[in-house]
Structure 1
């Protein structure tokens, strides 16, 4: 193996030789690499915006979780990163979380997308901001209920869509100020806004809607110098309250079932809900650090990205790989893994359904009947 030691010696001799053409080529290569490195640094370096401390950031959904943490993170004088005047919306503006936010100088305004008048809320925002600049609107408010689509009540469907797409109505109401202030619009979507998942039909469709809205709005407002930014998030359920009311909603589903549905789903429904509650957050992040870093970039960079992704690295990597396979295979794989995960916990769908509609000879109204077929293992 002694011949291996000859290679360094040969290289040194070669460089020291009179082969000037080789030396010049090597020098030229080194100069090119150095120049490329400088160019890349100039292109990729992030310039930060100049702030005077009077700029406002409006954040929705600050009773808990991401909104609550972000409001505290950004408020001027509250921590090393706080450089903004923050307006935080809370469903419970006199609750414990709201009181804590107020104690550090954050302006708390009540906002419940299912009840409150958006126009009057926007008037409050205009009064608070006054002649200052509204630097950004962070549309964070969101809810999630898990269960098969057939189980949802009409009120639950309306609830999810009203809250999760509330950003659309809010942006519409604030449009004049957004365009004049060049306000950044930051919409929190989800990986489930690009990849559907069983049990999340309503949640996914609301997030798909917000993804599409964000993309179209970005193209429309670019001419006004307005940045529309998406935050596509993974699982944050362990450190937020997004699944906190799952049991309550499951009870409402069961209460709304007719006798036929109860007979058909019965044990499957209850086992399903137990597993959902037990397994929720299995791929959740445990800290807000990376997300807050992304917010700093989106709010402070002169040229923010159109998309920031944050979540469990393994989870996000799997989802990224799934985007590269044909849709029919992807959906089949997701459905299969979900079914296997449920079966591993003893949750096996007892029946499948075919829905047919026919005219009854004894009833003038059309009726729907469910024909039950046992699943063959």
Structure 2
């Protein structure tokens, strides 16, 4: 064997040992040193172990390095009228950040409560369908950043529907999947500028948010617009489907969500020097069902999706 071949083989073996030791952690490093002692290659294995240990220390130290909240650091949160936005705005303010909170309406109950109780939360009106509203919000943020320049990060909140779209939520699921892919692309694109992009997927907090608070109004508007043909085809299931949703007990008064895991993950996404690319908060049944959705054939997967949703059963009728 030539000298070059021997060098290449040795380099490959060392690299392989380092990777195995890093993957196995401290136990892997101990096994590596023991193997070197038994095979009279202690010097080489000690070198590999040193590299492995140094890499582990660096990764753990970097991942665990936490930024301390400061009033000079600005956290901008949209959708603060209720639910997650309302909860995260209050939590970030309590941590010590200066919070700029966007509200669809500054007269909403959530906006009024925050204005009354939290002085370090700046309120702005933000309607993402209104260009002027967006322009004013951007100008407000720029004023803060000009006086307090710092490295930023973006945390995009999506939904479990971005991973598995559910019946009755096809449009909603498509928008959330769009946010997921948007985050994946931006994470790579903005990395060269030092901007970190994090995708945050919270658990099910339907009863503590305002997502379907106006469901009854929307149902009434949709029903009024039905054609005669649509009445004949959809009427029975439309009524039973929406009666089921209207039975969900929704809080009309904005309140801070009570879930410690949610806030722990939020703090990691916000404060860790090197945050994960994605954080997910979910009850065990979500974990179980989503695993089944991934692993089973499509017909079985669809069966479990229906069971997961637990919606009223559709009764096939002859309408023609």
Q: TM-score, normalised by structure 2?
A: 0.73
The CA deviation at 1:70 is: 1.0
Q: Does 1:305 align with 2:276?
A: yes
> Which residue number corresponds to residue 350 of structure 1?
316
1:113-153 CA-to-partner distances (Å, cap 9, x unmatched) read 223522232112212443214xxxxxxxxxxxxxxxxxxxx
Q: Deviations over 1:172-198 (max 9, x none)?
A: xxxxxxxxx431110001110110110
Asked if 1 retains the 8 angstrom alpha-carbon contact of 2:160 and 2:201, the reply is yes
Matches of 1:195 and 1:351, distance apart in 2: 29
> Following TM superposition, by how much is the alpha carbon of 1:222 offset from its aligned partner in structure 2, in angstroms?
0.9
Counterpart for residue 296 of structure 1: 267
Higher share of residues assigned helix: 2
Shift, 1:255, TM fit = 1.1
Indicate yes or no: 2:66 matched with 1:48: yes
Deviation, structure 1 residue 41: 6.5
CA RMSD of aligned residues (A): 3.0
Q: CA deviation at 1:93?
A: 1.1
Aligned residue among 100, 107, 111 for 1:87? 100
Superposition misfits of 4+ residues, deviation over 6 angstroms:
35-39
Contact 2:70 2:97 in 1 (8 A): no
Deviations 1:350-371 (A, max 9, x none): 349xxxxxxxxxxxxxxxxxxx
Do the aligned residues in 2 keep the contact of 1:239 with 1:287 (CA within 8 Å)? no
TM-score by length of 1: 0.63
Per-residue CA deviation, residues 45-71 of structure 1 (Å, 9 max, x unaligned), is 511125543010000000111111111
Distance (Å, rounded) in 1 between the aligned partners of 2:186 and 2:105:
30
Tell me what 2:86 maps to. 68
Q: CA deviation at 1:85?
A: 0.4
Deviations 1:85-110 (A, max 9, x none): 00000111133322332331210000
- TM-superposed deviation, 1:244: 1.0
Higher strand share: 1
2:112: which partner in 1? 99
Distance 2:89 2:260 in 1: 14
2:147 is matched with 131
Please name the residue that 2:294 is paired with: 323
Deviates more, 1:270-279 or 1:189-198: 270-279
Shift of 1:256: 1.3
Match of 2:239 in 1: 270
Structure 1 residue runs without a partner (length 5+) = 1-23, 134-180, 353-371
Counterpart contact for 1:234–1:316, Cα < 8 Å:
no
Q: How many residues align?
A: 266
Cα distance in 1 between the residues matched to 2:299 and 2:125 = 45
| Bigger Rg, which one | 1
Query: Which of residues 124, 130, 148 is equivalent to 1:109?
Result: 124
- Do the aligned residues in 1 keep the contact of 2:293 with 2:304 (CA within 8 Å)? no
What corresponds to 1:337 in structure 2?
A: 307
Distance in 2, matches of 1:51 and 1:70, equals: 14
CA contact (8 A) 1:237 1:280 kept: no
Spell out the pairing of 1:162-173 with structure 2 (5 A cutoff). Answer: none
Deviation, structure 1 residue 335 = 4.9
SS in 1 for 2:166: coil
SS in 2 for 1:87: strand
Aligned pairs (5 A) from 1:140-219: 181-219=150-188
Q: Closer, same or farther in 2 for the Cα pair 1:318/1:209, shift >3 Å?
A: same
| Rounded Cα–Cα distance in structure 2 between residues aligned with 1:280 and 1:270 | 18
Q: Match for residue 152 of structure 1?
A: none
Q: Aligned with 1:241: secondary structure?
A: coil
| Structure 2 unaligned residues grouped into runs of 5+ | 1-32, 39-45, 251-256
Shift of 1:287: 2.6
